[in-house]
Structure 1
């Protein structure tokens, strides 16, 4: 009868780096006690890692020493297991788009509400945020050795960083990344975003920052056109519940309440 070690080896032969308890039970008709005993032995040898109850990562020799896998090797299987939509977001998405100025220890993901708890296991830290307005655009599919995975487009990555700036460590921490993201962004990407994105205040901040960063004119044009004839209100560049925006002197109606310091 097949051993769990044989099953794991077969998975790796097909570039599969994750499996579920249910999947294992179908492949190997042993008792739960016997299967858990074999899983325990492989875990002690650091050949597998129980990421969540009932979901395991396979660590091939080249990753065993790190105690983790690249996110793109297993994120699709993880969210199928969780039965939730997702995309790689924030700093993690920015790195895939070539904007890797910030070195971060955790991986960032977005899902649909209700939210999931962050996943912390060994050297793996998945920071998971949730939105009530799930995008039907601006999610790109990339391909890894293990298959496809979802990632926010450059425009969605930028506006997510702006909208969640407090959670991301403040505006100045993300400013250099916005500059780099602009280099891989297209007008079409922005136009798609403007068709569905619900937070007008974050779009105002995006336009203001792109103008401050002297981004390409073709990126500013769709943002400027979006506000023509639109009723919108002054906002602070950095949200502050204890302050209200005062007089504004720019078309974005954004009040600068922080000194911008890009470290690019």
Structure 2
């Protein structure tokens, strides 16, 4: 039986026989909150998180236990992405102290006890390839390996630079599949990011995967782009195949 750690105020009132919207339900929830047994998920949201006794000292159970239950009720679609997805897929680099999540619309960061949820907007999120991973108590929707790598490239300044994205690509490259690459490129529809992706795959000696990116780019209007979009330098070699200016040292992050 699947465990549930999230509930709405209305559910609590119905299950405990209290009047909907009445003072008794609110008072009971406040008492439980004072005891550390439940915490609100965002102010005035009407969502509550159950805190098992063994996690009271921390203030909340692990995010993976309740994230899907919470977001699947609040959002049309979501998926964990960027560094959080890379970790879920087995990357050993750059453990992040927040859970990074893509949504179709903007949303403020959410702090639940020591855990921070940071949200990013993704257009066409419903088309992005994902996988559903089982967790200790629940499940979570995570961007596919190819989508994760492509998103890391697209959001490189946010995650610490293209050098970090490159290291994670080396971690996860063996898990790539050409079909996933094709679907991820089509969903993102980002030509410049695809150029950088192809260059990094070729640089890491994933020639067959690089060729799949080249095939996708074949009929696109490709213009020269910088590998490091946050850098202002115009110096460096140019990959003529990918039309990418190599304006950073990929070995500068270890």
> What stretches of structure 1 of length at least 5 have no aligned partner?
1-12
- Against the structure 1 CA distance between its residues 27 and 174, is the aligned structure 2 distance closer, same or farther, given a 3 Å change threshold? same
Deviation at 1:44, TM superposition (A): 2.4
Deviation at 1:255, TM superposition (A): 0.5
2:249 match: 259
- Against the structure 1 CA distance between its residues 245 and 81, is the aligned structure 2 distance closer, same or farther, given a 3 Å change threshold? farther
TM-score of the aligned structures, taking structure 1 as reference length: 0.85
1:248 and 2:238 correspond = yes
1:189 match: 180
2:226 match: 236
Secondary structure of the structure 2 residue equivalent to 1:142: strand
Take 2:47 and 2:33, find their aligned partners in 1: how far apart are those partners?
Answer: 13
2:161 match: 170
1:29 and 2:17 correspond = yes
TM-score of the aligned structures, taking structure 2 as reference length: 0.88
Take 1:36 and 1:101, find their aligned partners in 2: how far apart are those partners?
Answer: 44
Whether the 8 Å CA contact 2:72–2:78 is kept in 1: the answer is no
- Against the structure 1 CA distance between its residues 42 and 198, is the aligned structure 2 distance closer, same or farther, given a 3 Å change threshold? same
Take 1:211 and 1:105, find their aligned partners in 2: how far apart are those partners?
Answer: 31
Q: How many residues matched?
A: 250
Deviation at 1:217, TM superposition (A): 2.7
- Against the structure 1 CA distance between its residues 116 and 68, is the aligned structure 2 distance closer, same or farther, given a 3 Å change threshold? same
2:119 match: 128
- Against the structure 1 CA distance between its residues 121 and 147, is the aligned structure 2 distance closer, same or farther, given a 3 Å change threshold? closer
Whether the 8 Å CA contact 1:117–1:128 is kept in 2: the answer is yes
2:88 match: 96
Secondary structure of the structure 2 residue equivalent to 1:84: coil
Match of 2:31 among 33, 36, 41: 41
1:180 match: 171
- Against the structure 1 CA distance between its residues 189 and 262, is the aligned structure 2 distance closer, same or farther, given a 3 Å change threshold? farther
Take 2:213 and 2:34, find their aligned partners in 1: how far apart are those partners?
Answer: 54
> What stretches of structure 2 of length at least 5 have no aligned partner?
none
